[in-house]
Structure 1
Amino acid sequence: MLKKKITRILLLSMVLLLGGCSASHKIAYMQDVRSDVRREVATVQVTAQPGDKISIVVNSKNPELADMFNLPIMAHRIGQPMNNSYNYNQQVSSYTVDSNGNIDFPILGELHVEGLKREKIASYIKNELVRKNQVKDAVVIVEFLNMGVSVMGEVNRPGRFSIDRDYLTLLDALSMAGDLTIHGKRENVLVTRRENGTETHYRVNLCDSKSLSASPVYYLHQNDQVYVEPNDVRARQSTVNGNNVRSASFWMSLASVLATISVLIFK
């Protein structure tokens, strides 16, 4: 009778142990997607904000006329002597959007660019040059220089990544960070966004395509911070000395003890 009770206890302990070890985790993204379903998603492009740096290049059939608006920076090469050859690197200057959302552009003066997309800024400057009879055949090229997002937590390559396109999705940013590790929580990704002096936190479920595409942070803005939380397995592995009751080593030790007791009882 005693052996039967002990056997039941051992079996129950092993079931609980194996159950804890084999707990399933949501791994696949967008698990609800079906191949016959189409969903329209409006793209949200990155726009200029205070503190951003913008490269603006004006081209024309008359280079001398265009040069009036490009303001080159003459940067002396380090380690090269100053002589008559004028050994310089030439770079086009960037414009910093001030706290009021403006840039100070040559001849045209103060231009309000906050909230404008890259092509809108180019079109705005081109129209102003033509309207004020400065450059009738102007071709304006605008690039955002210092925009980026930060990706932290359970990803393979955490860090800050530059926005090198007109729009960047959350999935794009996670891909640049090498994707989530197997220990990252896919159903509870945190995105922090600062706008107009306030900080807002959003939770995103990567396993649910509908809620993902509808999220305000599906398209990221510059300076967004993405944090992937560790799942319970990683949390258990993060104990101070590895000897916590929730650690894997504890359960392995317990299983070993139970197996030893079983052998002694039925010997």
Structure 2
Amino acid sequence: MTNNFKNNPPKARVWYIFSALLVTLLLGSCSVKNVVYFKDLPQDTLKVMKAAAAFSEPVIQSDDLLSITVQTLDPTTSSIANQTEAVQAVGASSASNVGNQVISGFLVDKNGFVHMTLLGKVKVAGLTTYQARELITEKAQEFYRDPTVQVRFANYKITVLGEVTRPATYTVPNEKVTVLDALGLAGDMTIYGQRENVLLIREENGQKAMVRLNLADSDLFQSPYYYLRQNDVIYVEPGKAKAATNNAARTQTFAIIGSALSLLIVLITRWR
């Protein structure tokens, strides 16, 4: 094969070298180093974080859907207070069921109230679920003896988009959700996702806040954005390897054209 290469005309050799370099660049465009999380952590020693990110409980807002249950010694009477309406959460998914979900709960109206049978209107906007539970328990004691009340978000949604296995809006069962939890629900990033430049979109005080997160750095655990809030959106941008993949057809076309030109040059050279 070496002798054949040496015997080829100079122009043909150039095309062979160009083709070899093109293949090498395509194969080497995606480094293993670029798909590793927290690559700053030492492999043979233990690193202890000085201070983890603080978690703050989310507060209830208008249009939230709450799961509220009142339990008493007589389940027949408590079922009256637990009557809810089914609401379809468009685009919401769970880890095992991707698609629209019908969720039952108490909808917080524009004025921040939930309307409960027998208990009446209860203002819960601005409260945490713990504070709302204490307030509803207080009101329930007017009608029931020793009631037990549970309050949690029924539509605590996180949206994950971009280079992940299952992009969707996910309804999570608890309020303490991290960036890693959200990516886990979405089946993790694909090999093409940029781990050093993950975009977090959050609505704060009626404005959109956008933050860049570096999942290749362990300082993420100390970030105030490590814990997510309701309606947060995570967008994983594609890297250069994705662009190369999308252009595979074009690259293949160029390779065919290059090969055809090389063959044409060889034929013309030999014909002369």
TM-score, normalization by structure 2: 0.70
| Within-5 A mapping of 1:37-186 | 37-39=47-49, 40-63=52-75, 66-67=78-79, 69-71=81-83, 94-106=105-117, 109-130=120-141, 133-186=142-195
Structure 2 CA distance for partners of 1:101 and 1:33, relative to 1, 3 Å: farther
Provide the residue aligned with 1:87 in structure 2: none
What SS does structure 2 have at the residue aligned with 1:186? strand
1:7-54 Cα offsets, whole Å, 9 max, x none, are 997898578543564145411111123442222332344432221111
Structure 2 CA distance for partners of 1:16 and 1:194, relative to 1, 3 Å: same
- Determine if contact 1:236/1:248 at 8 Å carries over to the other structure: no
Structure 2 CA distance for partners of 1:22 and 1:95, relative to 1, 3 Å: same
Provide the residue aligned with 2:100 in structure 1: none
| Within-5 A mapping of 1:5-20 | 13=18, 17=22, 18-19=24-25
Provide the residue aligned with 2:94 in structure 1: none
Between the aligned partners of 2:217 and 2:257, the Cα distance in structure 1 is 38
State the identity as a percent: 32
Provide the residue aligned with 2:198 in structure 1: 189
Between the aligned partners of 2:259 and 2:225, the Cα distance in structure 1 is 45
Structure 2 CA distance for partners of 1:15 and 1:238, relative to 1, 3 Å: closer
- Determine if contact 1:191/1:224 at 8 Å carries over to the other structure: yes
Does residue 242 (structure 1) correspond to residue 225 (structure 2)? The answer is no
- Determine if contact 2:157/2:172 at 8 Å carries over to the other structure: yes
Provide the residue aligned with 2:46 in structure 1: 36
1:88-120 Cα offsets, whole Å, 9 max, x none, are xxxx97321223433234555543323433333
Provide the residue aligned with 1:229 in structure 2: 237
Between the aligned partners of 1:22 and 1:152, the Cα distance in structure 2 is 27
Name structure 1 gaps, 5 residues minimum. Answer: 75-91
The letter of the residue matching 1:181 is T
The letter of the residue matching 1:29 is Y
How far does residue 154 in structure 1 lie from its aligned partner after superposition?
0.9
TM-score, normalization by structure 1: 0.71
Between the aligned partners of 1:111 and 1:189, the Cα distance in structure 2 is 39
Moved over 6 A (4+): 5-12, 255-262
Does residue 22 (structure 1) correspond to residue 34 (structure 2)? The answer is no
How many positions carry a matched residue from both structures?
240
What SS does structure 2 have at the residue aligned with 1:120? helix
RMSD across aligned C-alpha pairs, in angstroms?
A: 3.7
The letter of the residue matching 2:182 is A
Match of 1:203 among 212, 217, 222: 212
- Determine if contact 1:71/1:93 at 8 Å carries over to the other structure: no
The letter of the residue matching 1:123 is E
Between the aligned partners of 2:194 and 2:174, the Cα distance in structure 1 is 27
1:69-105 Cα offsets, whole Å, 9 max, x none, are 334669xxxxxxxxxxxxxxxxx97321223433234
Between the aligned partners of 1:235 and 1:136, the Cα distance in structure 2 is 65
Structure holding more helix per residue: 2
- Determine if contact 1:46/1:167 at 8 Å carries over to the other structure: no
